[in-house]
Structure 1
């Protein structure tokens, strides 16, 4: 039986952020994920988790200057290693305070005309730093391929590229964050990828394709995919990283049988 986590950055956005924890619990979720925790003290977020009986299962390292500079992570940016590692250290502090087992280390955007190889090298070095820092605490590093339609010029977009990076970093606590929405846009053949990469992904995210709404319509047959994940023995969480068509509660019929 799959386990679902509400993504509080995209779901329940009709409410202020701190009120979304209660809404997720009231809807029947036992776990949550979100993009970034850094606007709030860790203890304030931990109290929301405790109060509502929720487990935090994933968040990201800081994005950098997303608004003005279009950054989306620093870990792959040559010359920004000190900042990237400070973000990794800060993420570990939050992970420990929140009891969160997974942190997505964001690579970043490669500017037009730049050498992608230099960005890949910087990313690999920083991923090894993160994995080694996280390992004594039982925290996993996640890497996620992002589709060009959503994040143009991100360092990598394909699950095959993610798998190659994972192999080159060569750390036992580094896993692929397998987002079916991005993967369908770039790679297709989700069921084939699920089988080929079994054991190499530690967190999954879902949304309807191509509209990124609830996973109850579109190109992917999610109930069938969930059955295949059970057959493959996947025991991790599935993050509901989608944009509800209307009020979040109104679109939860698809998940209620699993909660």
Structure 2
């Protein structure tokens, strides 16, 4: 079965953030991911990881003013200097956390903006970021996100993400394949795993139940089947990445918190 990483932004919200590392480790997770580490010193986070034997598998580069609604800077003309400063900060954290993957959010397309101009800015920023990250042994990931959860997000489709990665041609620029977003926008998820994983352009997977983004055993996707597909294709192409559990626990409000909703993982690992 896949290697599952706990997303500490969404899981274990019954604990303070720094206590979520221990909670994830207690439930048997070996890897963790989260959105943003920048409210904490990198050394403090690194110590938590080291003490608990956890691997930091992914986090996001600074997205601009998140509280004001910004969701990334990469596609926004005129914000290049801020984008580059954010990448430098992310790479410094990646070094301390020994993290090999940074997600760079595309950003929201401004109303009335020329999409071709946004695309040109996006590709130029990604090429620069990949070049900087290559020097540090880090992969830059881009993620298509569905417009229901994030209206106006510049990148929505797997095929578009893969075209961009191909066009730039950097070996450390990859696609973050979130099955939840893919199902909402496109569907045909199993065939897309078979199509894209062998290309070498997929750097990370994420999962959540559809449509409400709860546990993977809740909703319209048959994850036990999809995990078997992922195992089969990963073995064929020798892919050894992680699957991030980026969902909102529906069962987290009951006794046991996030842990109470992890039966799906035990079932998957026993399949």
Answer whether TM exceeds 0.5 for this pair.
Answer: yes
Give how far 1:137 is off. Answer: 2.1
Aligned to 1:209: 210
Deviations 1:79-127 (A, max 9, x none): 1100001001110000010000100011100111111111111111111
Pair 1:254 & 2:260 matched: no
SS, match of residue 255 in structure 1: helix
Matched length = 258
Give how far 1:38 is off. Answer: 0.4
Give how far 1:160 is off. Answer: 1.0
Deviation above 6 Å: which 4+ runs of structure 1?
none
User: CA separation in 1, counterparts of 2:62 and 2:136?
Assistant: 20
User: CA separation in 2, counterparts of 1:47 and 1:256?
Assistant: 28
User: CA separation in 2, counterparts of 1:110 and 1:123?
Assistant: 11
Pair 1:53 & 2:53 matched: yes
Pair 1:237 & 2:242 matched: yes
Computed over aligned residues only, the root mean square deviation of the Cα atoms, in angstroms, reads 1.1
Structure 1-normalised TM-score?
A: 0.97
Give how far 1:219 is off. Answer: 1.3
Give how far 1:217 is off. Answer: 2.2
- 1:42-191 → structure 2 map (5 Å cutoff): 42-68=42-68, 70-191=69-190
SS, match of residue 162 in structure 2: helix
Consecutive unaligned residues of structure 1, counting only runs of 5 or more, are none
Structure 2-normalised TM-score?
A: 0.93
- 1:11-50 → structure 2 map (5 Å cutoff): 11-50=11-50
User: CA separation in 2, counterparts of 1:127 and 1:63?
Assistant: 14
Consecutive unaligned residues of structure 2, counting only runs of 5 or more, are none
User: CA separation in 1, counterparts of 2:168 and 2:15?
Assistant: 40
User: CA separation in 2, counterparts of 1:61 and 1:11?
Assistant: 20
Pair 1:196 & 2:195 matched: yes
Deviations 1:152-171 (A, max 9, x none): 11111011111111111110
Deviations 1:203-259 (A, max 9, x none): 000000001000012111111111111111232100000000122011011113539
User: CA separation in 2, counterparts of 1:137 and 1:156?
Assistant: 26
